[in-house]
Chain A
């Protein structure tokens, strides 16, 4: 149980375009979801926390206008990278809190901006 499905698994886009990444909770309701970014050979860095029906809370240094997060339902959260540039190329991972101390992670999205 508690599976998060993340799509797409990889995407290549041209510089200046926008890309949307979706995370769906398949068998539970995700009130809170987290979005992480991971550069090669580095750890996961939290970008933002999204709560269903309210605005996302962004970590310091993360541009909220560039990384748009929407959590309109209890089963879907989306991250849109707007006006993508090569430096936005990274591995993006979503996560949902489950139970008291549990977290479940999506399989990640490899974004390459050319």
Chain B
């Protein structure tokens, strides 16, 4: 079983601050995805990265896939209360099963 460790597990910061969430594994993935989940709902895809070293931006969110395709990071600039939620990374081999990270619960304080 591949394990994806996310850090930090919990993060509470003031509105306007920047933050970075990390996702680390000892396994190499063909693709890595980041999701955001609201309570009582299914996870919603934010981004998919497939190439080592790849960087993708989604408004104030920047995602990076490690060169060795074993780790990834999510950086949020000028966090807003609407960014509050559970952030999950997930790795897969091709179209095989998706293994989720341990999760980071983010709270943005207005």
User: How many residues of chain B are within 8 Å of chain A by beta carbon?
Assistant: 24
Bound Cα distance A8, B95 (Å):
27
CA separation between A49 and B42, bound complex, in Å?
A: 17
Answer whether A93 and B42 are a contact pair too, CB < 8 Å, given A100-B95, A102-B48: yes
For A99, the closest partner residue in chain B by CB is B95
A43 to B92, CA, bound (A): 16
Alpha-carbon distance between A107 and B43 when the two chains are bound, in angstroms? 8
Stretch at the interface among B53-61, B70-78, B96-104: B96-104
Given A107-B41, A110-B40, answer yes or no on A101-B92 (Cβ-Cβ < 8 Å).
yes
- In the assembled complex, the Cα of A60 lies from the Cα of B1 at a distance in Å of 9
CB distance from A61 to the nearest CB of B (A): 10
For window 24-56 of A, CB contacts with B under 8 Å fall at: 32, 34, 36, 41-46, 49
B31 is an interface residue with CB less than 8 A from chain A:
yes
For the complex of A and B, the 6 pairs showing the least CB-CB separation, nearest first, are A105-B42, A43-B103, A101-B31, A44-B100, A97-B95, A43-B100
Q: Which B residues contact A (CB, under 8 angstroms)? A: 1, 30-31, 33, 40-45, 48, 50, 88, 92, 94-95, 97-103, 105
Supplied contacts A43-B103, A100-B95, A105-B43, 7 more A-B pairs, CB within 8 Å: A36-B100, A43-B100, A46-B98, A46-B99, A100-B94, A101-B30, A101-B33
